[in-house]
Structure 1
């Protein structure tokens, strides 16, 4: 498979492994319309570098995110990094200098953009569930580079489609060519069966109106669909003269064949599943019943503005939240994100947006939950300082309700936790950062071993048990700990195997084999994500 090369690629291809794991520091919980002392909410808004934040999500969410939507910088070459411009943000410049080195000074803006995107996409791929779907908004500036990049990271077979979104409905006369669309690349984690990940859209009122029952069919309302198909892959048995119940003869049009063999077609005619019109003289058509299955609309590659709004609609939407002020330059409309979520989520899906911007994705999740009674959860990451004043503030207003008078919108309900990206778990010399606290260290170690949430135990040093294995973390902040026979006599948990972390081990191999003990040295043997 062709791969994409650029200046600096060798420095970032494995950089996601070197990104420090940082703890998430809860700042507050927004619940019942106000900020409260942090409690447990599965919805998260995180302020911090999205590369490091994605790394911090791995212990709890690796392989568990069902839908990812990101709207990364479009890299248009304009001067300000606000949302969809070039890679000139000071934080990104600093990161490029540290990771790529002096070479970064000579990179083109395309090189910089690819360096920025590669490790983030690698971590997003790790977070995506087995049936997960990722959508990436982009325009012509980086579309073709992005497609090859995602083929390399997610796999060429994971490519589902490239959606075209009608972002504006009016002609842009100031340009040589009026651009009316953006792209949304779509990839699935499940490369064998996209049907397990991509869902039909809900039936619209217009689509439902097509189902009638003019002949009082016992199977209920139906609509008619063609009884023919393109003949390219047809078998000989699909070409024949069809005789209607009134004796009228029908042949498939040139280049077409019947959907069914003659025998199957006759069975369907007898079962009243073929429609010949009220008087029986029409071209035969197949009845498609409304109640035959959970019916929906097959998603189309073109997403029209009437179904997903426009850039202009998004700007108006954001103004409603902030008393007419355009606090964000180019947000996406929540209706567009709802459309994508309808394609790729169920009512209990986890949704992630690591370029959260104005919080549109969180708003879309909450709105869709209100529509269908779902319990989707969201995780938003925003690196800029407006994470609390714009991103979180919009979500608060979506939950409570916003607007005034005839333009007021009822709140969706819900809650979220707001986090700051905290200290690293390990210092540069690879020792534990003890200032993060023993509870955070225990949470981290337990996740590395079991990939499950940590629950505090009553027994000293016990992290927990799983699959007949007991995990102990024999750790003291101000002294070395030693795994010896004296420590073994303090254990109160019966298990088939014991994994024990400590600074030193004085047990002989015979005793460890006898009791199925595995020693892991602190910090050497603690897994780094």
Structure 2
């Protein structure tokens, strides 16, 4: 079995194409390409077709990123997904570029990530406190991505307590509140139920003390149930009949007991705003890296952010980070495996871009950015295990 982490030093475009030629495939691309701050990019590409860097830095940036995204697309399995971090400098262009490369129909989300809660205080204008994650599937109809998490389930959303079992639950209307689903579009889900608002019992056939209950919207128009007749007959104990007050006064309705499971099986859809208190911040990311190899990278990503991304995919996912930076993705993969027993593996790619003379990294003997990635992943292996395969180029 491949070690949890593989680090490849080299130009990522060369490495990605070599991986594809070797028949490699991945389940998840999670990466953080260089943000376009007006500086040169540490890649060998010829940007003359982009009009030259001085006058068209946006075109030059897109010309650098496009072939690498295309190579990632080719490496993704049909069930795979791609997460790309970006800031305001290129968010709009990256979204259009990914629509072309991945297919507009495969766009899943543009997540706002609150990495700097205090906001950047330097410069003019607003104190920017966020970046973005653009999320695409290789094929939205077949993707294994599950945009939910057990960590976002809030026990306070389940205020009711079943005295017999001690389990918490909430009431959800059994009728479908989406008006796209109605007796015309879903005729098999439009049928009467019988319920006892005093005792709460619900059934698909009349019984003593029951009243007939038809599904209706708040304005009185006919609706449909969310459950089929066989499911209702199978789980009558998860339903309750109650008197409610609506626009037209009191009426009888049927509700589902929606249980909070204690075994971790309960999941909740992820929102599209991720707060620093949930996934970490730039400050916590710096502290994580400092603990392993020192303060040697200016803007790492927090492992909590990547672990939330990993949580949307199966625990045996093959992960790729072609712009590995400080090695956050590989670190997060090791943390996730150690926490849940998963068998994820990660390929991290970084070039031998020189670190700046006089910088903390350079002073620590880390003469290239690849040295930083390698040092972190070695430290992760010593701390968490899982192994590390180090390569120069693929093959």
TM class by smaller structure: 0.7 to 0.9
With over 3 angstroms needed to count, the CA separation of the structure-2 counterparts of 1:412 and 1:295, relative to structure 1, is same
CA distance 1:414–1:180, shift in 2 (3 Å): same
Taking the aligned partners of 2:173 and 2:374, their CA distance within structure 1 comes to 50
Deviations 1:397-447 (A, max 9, x none): 2222xxxxxxxxxx321111111138xxxxxxxxxxxxxxxxx7xxxxxxx
1:321 match: secondary structure: helix
Per-residue deviation at 1:69? 0.7
SS in 1 for 2:22: helix
Is 2:76 the counterpart of 1:128? Answer: yes
Aligned to 1:361: 329
Written as runs of structure 1 = structure 2, the 5 A alignment for 1:240-279 is 244-246=196-198, 252-254=217-219, 260=225, 264=229, 267=232, 271-275=236-240
Q: Does residue 418 of structure 1 match 2:368? A: no
Q: Which of 377, 386, 391 is residue 395 of structure 1 equivalent to?
A: 377
- Larger-gyration structure (1/2): 1
Alignment of 1:174-189 (within 5 A): 174=122, 175-189=124-138
State the match for 2:91 in structure 1.
Answer: 143
Structure 1 residue 208 displacement after superposition: 9.5
SS class of match (1:135) = strand
Please give the residue correspondences for 1:433-448 in structure 2 after superposition, counting only pairs within 5 Å: none
Q: 1:116 to 1:274 in 2, by over 3 A?
A: same
State whether structure 2 residue 268 is matched by structure 1 residue 303.
no
Would you say 1:95 and 2:45 are equivalent positions?
yes
User: What's the CA shift string for 1:290-340, capped at 9, x where partnerless?
Assistant: 579953222221112222111222122222223xx4200110001000000
Task: From 306, 321, 330, give the equivalent of 2:292.
Answer: 321
Give runs of aligned pairs for residues 1-80 of structure 1, distance below 5 A. Answer: 41=3, 43-62=5-24, 64-77=25-38
Measured after TM superposition, the shift of residue 253 of structure 1 is 3.1
CA gap 1:115/1:256 in 2 versus in 1, 3 angstroms: farther
User: Which residue of structure 1 aligns with residue 256 of structure 2?
Assistant: 286
Distance in 1, matches of 2:228 and 2:85, equals 49
Which residue is 2:206 aligned to?
none
Partner residue of 2:173?
226
Partner of 2:308: 339
Q: Distance in 2 between matches of 1:233 and 1:106?
A: 52
* Correspondence for 1:159 among 107, 110, 116: 107
Distance in 1 (CA, whole Å) between partners of 2:381 and 2:330 is 10
The offset of 1:255, in angstroms, is: 8.3
Q: Are positions 1:330 and 2:299 aligned together?
A: yes
Contact 2:107-2:137 at 8 Å conserved across structures: yes
CA spacing shift, 1:288–1:393, aligned 2, 3 Å: same
Matched-pair contact (CA < 8 Å) for 2:300–2:328: yes
Aligned length: 355
- Name the CA shift for 1:122/1:234 in 2 (closer, same or farther; >3 Å): closer
Determine which of 175, 181, 192 is the counterpart of 2:141.
192
Distance, in Å, in 2 between the alignment partners of 1:350 and 1:319 is 27
Work out the CA distance in 2 between the residues paired with 1:378 and 1:107: 37
Contact 2:51–2:60 (8 Å) recurs in 1: no
Provide the secondary structure at the position in 2 that maps to 1:272: helix
The whole-number CA distance in structure 2 between the counterparts of 1:263 and 1:348 is: 35
The structure whose RCO (Cα within 8 Å, separation 6+) is larger is 2
Give the superposition deviation at 1:360.
0.2
Deviation at 1:372, TM superposition (A): 0.7
Distance 2:295 2:63 in 1: 31
C-alpha offsets along residues 182-217 of structure 1, whole Å, 9 cap, x if unaligned?
Answer: 1111111123244x3335323567449949761537
Is the 2:381–2:388 Cα contact (8 Å) retained in structure 1?
no
Question: How far 1:348 moved relative to its partner?
Answer: 1.5
Please, which runs of 5 or more residues in structure 1 have no aligned partner? 1-38, 78-85, 401-410, 423-439, 441-529
Verify the 8 A CA contact 1:228 1:257 in the aligned structure 2.
Answer: no
SS in 1 for 2:347: strand
Distance in 2 separating the partners of 1:374 and 1:293: 16
Is 1:96–1:112's contact at 8 Å kept on the other side of the alignment?
A: no
Q: Which moved more, 1:250-259 or 1:104-113?
A: 250-259
For residues 221 and 176 of structure 2, the distance between their equivalents in structure 1, rounded to whole angstroms, comes to 5
| Rounded Cα–Cα distance in structure 1 between residues aligned with 2:16 and 2:27 | 15
Q: Specify every segment of 5 or more residues in structure 2 that has no aligned partner in the other structure, as ranges.
A: 199-209, 244-250, 355-367
Q: Is the 8 A contact 1:229 1:257 kept in 2?
A: no
Relative to the length of structure 1, the TM-score reads 0.59
**RMSD between aligned residues:** 3.8
